[in-house]
Amino acid sequence: MTRIAILGSTGSIGTQTLDICRRHPDRFRVTALTARGSREKLFAQLREFRPEMAGLTEGIRPEEIPDDLRGIRWVQGPETLSTVAREAEADQVLVSVVGIAGLESVLAALEAGKQVLLANKEALVTGGQLVTDLARTKGKLLLPVDSEHSAIFQCLQAAGENRPEELLLTASGGPFRTWDKERIRHATREEALRHPNWNMGAKITVDSASMFNKGLEIMEARWLFDMPEDRIKVVVHPESIVHSAVVFRDGAVLAQLGMPDMRVPIAYAMSWPERIETGVKPADLIQLGKLTFEKPDAEKFPALQLARQCLRAGGAACTVFNGANEAAVAAFLRGEIAFGEITERVKRALDRLSGLTANTLEEIQEADSLARQV
């Protein structure tokens, strides 16, 4: 029986993880659940899975906890995620919260000797060196949950002694793949949130539309797989069936295919090195008929090149890229800035905050705070 703590249990990844737990009650036991503010949804999950710990990062007054849930140990406030990651009786900690908030909890889980299932790319974007050094020291493998990084990980498991030469990250192209640059600049909130293939949260959906998400994934892949930035390629694949691929030394290209359903990569991380039933139907290639691939348009989607520049710059550049983007996307979702201004504001933050270091958690948090202010 594997004990699992889920940070961000009411979001898309969290609820699908609980679906896997529901399908395999003889294999997984949920010991902790946290949410940001979705109280009623969290209460329902707690009643079904009966974990020992629960947390709300936005807090809850004692009298607001339902009578039947007061036997659970409650944690709340800004330290919720790291406390649960560190103190939950768990073998695995799934970190599926959005943003830099995941970094401290990843470090806490690793410090406590737990296996991290990583659905928070920002932990590696902002603290890649810190996280990978600690994982190496603790002898723990970071198991990726993002569909693209899980696909690469799965391909590498099948490689044997064949050395990988390049990583191919696939991207759907989002809702604006065929739009011109000027039309993209003035896209509305509703248009940006209309992803053609995936059902995700608002932040990641907007990032997919701007391809900032793929820039963050390049950064994540650099640390997860110890691969130089110039050997991580992006390929636009509108059907979202090939989740990513690896080019090997002998000329082989291995790819992982499947329907756009996150339960497959979630279950693989939970059960690795085994595979378990997920309830997902396999892709029917005959019915699909064809799969298409394109080169990303750097003019329409400048976030990709901006991400590569940050990796080459080093220091806190990736942290600034991430923090400024989080703040700009939030402003866009509130209707305060145009879609095209997201990239402009991130560039401005990078220009103003060049040269910052990111050698400690405190330096990373300071760079993130400054980026948001700019």
Q: What is the mean pLDDT of the chain?
A: 95
Q: Is-contact 45 29, C-beta < 8 A?
A: no
Does the structure show a pLDDT above 80 at 106?
yes
Does the structure show a pLDDT above 70 at 170?
yes
For residues 226 and 133, what is the distance between their CA atoms, to the nearest angstrom?
12
What count of Cα atoms within 13 Å lies in the side-chain half-sphere of residue 102?
Answer: 27
Match 């710990």 to its residue by tokens.
Answer: 53
Domains parsed from the chain with CATH numbers: 2-141 (3.40.50.720), 148-305 (no CATH), 314-374 (1.10.1740.10)
Does the structure show a pLDDT above 80 at 199?
no
Q: 114-151: per-residue pLDDT in tens?
A: 999 999 999 999 999 999 999 999 999 999 999 999 99
Instruction: Return phi, psi of residue 117, to 5°.
Output: -100, 115
Gyration radius of the chain's alpha carbons: 20
Residues 6 or more apart whose CB falls under 8 angstroms from that of 146 comprise 118, 119, 121, 217, 220, 265
What DSSP state is assigned to residue 163?
Answer: P
pLDDT number for residue 75: 96
For residues 107 and 369, what is the distance between their CA atoms, to the nearest angstrom?
19
pLDDT number for residue 140: 95
For residues 74 and 43, what is the distance between their CA atoms, to the nearest angstrom?
12
Alpha-carbon torsion (7, 13, 15, 20), positive or negative? negative
Does the structure show a pLDDT above 90 at 160?
no
Q: 213-270: per-residue pLDDT in tens?
A: 999 999 999 999 999 999 999 999 999 999 999 999 999 999 999 999 999 999 999 9
Burial of 245 (0-12, 13-18, 19+ CB in 10 A): buried
Give the pair of three-digit tokens for residue 75.
């944690």
For residues 30 and 176, what is the distance between their CA atoms, to the nearest angstrom?
39
What count of Cα atoms within 13 Å lies in the side-chain half-sphere of residue 39?
Answer: 10
pTM: 0.93
User: Poorest-confidence range of 114-118, 200-204, 292-296, 346-350?
Assistant: 200-204
Residues 6 or more apart whose CB falls under 8 angstroms from that of 330 comprise 203
Q: 291-336: per-residue pLDDT in tens?
A: 999 999 999 999 999 999 999 999 999 999 999 999 999 999 999 9
Measuring CA to CA, which residue among 233, 205, 239 is closest to residue 217?
233
Measuring CA to CA, which residue among 66, 15, 71 is closest to residue 43?
66
pLDDT number for residue 198: 64
Q: Is-contact 96 13, C-beta < 8 A?
A: yes
